[in-house]
Amino acid sequence: MADLPSVNSEALAEIKAIAGSADDRPVLMINNNLYVPEANFPNGQLYQDYMAVLHILVEQVGATIKWRTRVDNQVVGDQPLHEILGIWYPSHQSFMKLMTAPASDENMRLRALTVAYANVYRCDPIDT
């Protein structure tokens, strides 16, 4: 995860600790994404290529993209976004495998070209 900007080291350490424990459990990651203009979200080829590889990557680690939704506008706050994704992982260990899965390098290459800004939140998947 060192290749990702703004990594929260404390949160990552907590995920690693859970992944290596008997308490490992499913996790839902909420991804808030703003794409570069060149991605031409949602119809551009760059965006489509990134999504295709992301789907392959999450499948390789046993995860599922539960939903993707375009953000039409922002009612409160000042964090512009294009899209929000909910990705369910069967375990924290599964999430940690993202960086070593076969499609990881291509995903990271396309992510660097496509994503201008992202926040990822770790959530309890109560209803998934």
Averaged pLDDT for residues 99-119: 96
Q: Where are the domains of the chain?
A: 9-76+96-123
How is domain 9-76+96-123 classified at the CATH fold level? Alpha-Beta Plaits (3.30.70)
Which residue, among 50, 79, 78, 54, has the nearest Cα to 64 in the 3D structure? 54
Distance CA 114, CA 67 (A): 19
44-63 per-residue burial string, b: 16 or more CB within 10 A, e: under 16: bebbebbbebbbebbebbeb
Here the tokens at position 78 are 């000042």
pLDDT tier at 4, thresholds 50, 70, 90: low
Averaged pLDDT for residues 92-118: 96
The predicted-structure confidence for 12-64, as pLDDT tens digits, reads as follows: 999 999 999 999 999 999 999 999 999 999 999 999 999 999 999 999 999 99
Averaged pLDDT for residues 106-128: 90
Give pLDDT, residue 2: 35
Give pLDDT, residue 125: 81
Quote the pTM value: 0.90
